[in-house]
Chain A
Amino acid sequence: MVARTPEPVQVVKQRRDDALAAIVAAIPYIQFLNVSFERRGDELTAVMAYRDTLIGNPALPALHGGAIAAFLEVAAVIELTWATAWAAIEDGTLTPEAITSGHQFALPKTIDFTVDYLRSGLPRDAYARATINRSGRRYASVHVEAWQDKRDRLFAQGTGHFLMPDANSAKAV
């Protein structure tokens, strides 16, 4: 067996970051909410940077429940998309250009989403991580946890079910 030279670290990082950036940039509502993603290997953390337009109760003040729900749903959809596309991104069959063009790529569709508002969202940055608890051919079940200051003090959590894109329309699946 011939030993293969490992890829240079910057090549690996660039490929993953470019693919993630292409997925995120494709969805206008993610920009509207001011959400970005931080990546460590395949682990993603969604970040909703604070803006005054995210406020739902100006008297407290507190983040809008709808903004929190959308943030959690975005984190779930991107995690699911990222996880299913990972192998194709790594072997180079799914390029950022293909993601942007949308021809080889489709997003999962939300069947239902439930948000549990544990405490009011403070006027500062929020973070979320999603866990795929079931990933089948037809649908997936995803849980999301969101926090602000302390990781183990959640201010919201959500669970959603998502219809997976048709295997014919998305090479990534």
Chain B
Amino acid sequence: MTKDNRAIAQSFIDAIPHSHALGMKIDFVGDGEAHMSMDYDERFIGDPATGVIHGGAVFALLDTCGGAAVISHPDHNGATATIDLRVDYMRPASPGQRIRAVATCYNRTRSVAFVRAVAMDDREDKPVATAAGAFVTGG
């Protein structure tokens, strides 16, 4: 993806108020795949005893990344909406570390796009969370 495309994709994400509030960044987007990241922020803590980010913030990143993957598919026009999304929390994200998500739209029909996604912190070999879901394609 060219730098221009990434700037366009980032401005698209910035226009989503909730994603903007969570500080989500686009790292790559194209051909049904999206990479996004979110910096650690104390406001996102879900467990005060450990400082671990709330599962809901990770869910929001995976959901946004999944939607970006759907929109980036060459056959896609317009917006999308999540039909359902399941997130499995493999381990707590290490406090202080940025969370990165990679989402792939691995199958599309006329009305539904199927997405898988994974979230990682600095340890790339052990995912923090994985997700699977369905999104709306087209009108």
Contact = CB atoms under 8 A, between A and B. Distances in A.
Contacts, number: 133
Interface stretch (A4-12, A114-122, A128-136): A114-122
A97 to B, nearest CB: 14
Contacts of A111: 88-89
A116 B85 CA distance: 7
Given A53-B18, A58-B15, A112-B88, A71 B60 contact: no
Nearest to A29: B54
Interface string B12-26: 000111111110000
Interface in B46-97: 46-49, 53-57, 59-64, 67, 79, 81-89, 92
Nearest to B79: A57
A83 interface: no
A55 B21 CA distance: 10
Contacts of B16: 55-58, 64
Interface residues of B, number: 39
Interface string B21-45: 1100000000000000000001111
Nearest to A119: B81
A56 B19 contact: yes
A21 B18 CA distance: 25
Contacts of A79: none
Residue of B15, B19, B21, B59 ringed by the most chain A CB atoms within 10 A: B59
Interface of B: 15-22, 42-49, 53-57, 59-64, 67, 79, 81-89, 92
Given A31-B43, A67-B18, 15 more contacts: A27-B45, A28-B42, A28-B44, A28-B48, A29-B54, A29-B57, A53-B21, A65-B60, A66-B59, A66-B61, A69-B87, A112-B89, A114-B84, A116-B83, A117-B82
Interface of A: 26-29, 31-33, 52-59, 62-67, 69-71, 73-74, 102, 106-107, 109-117, 120
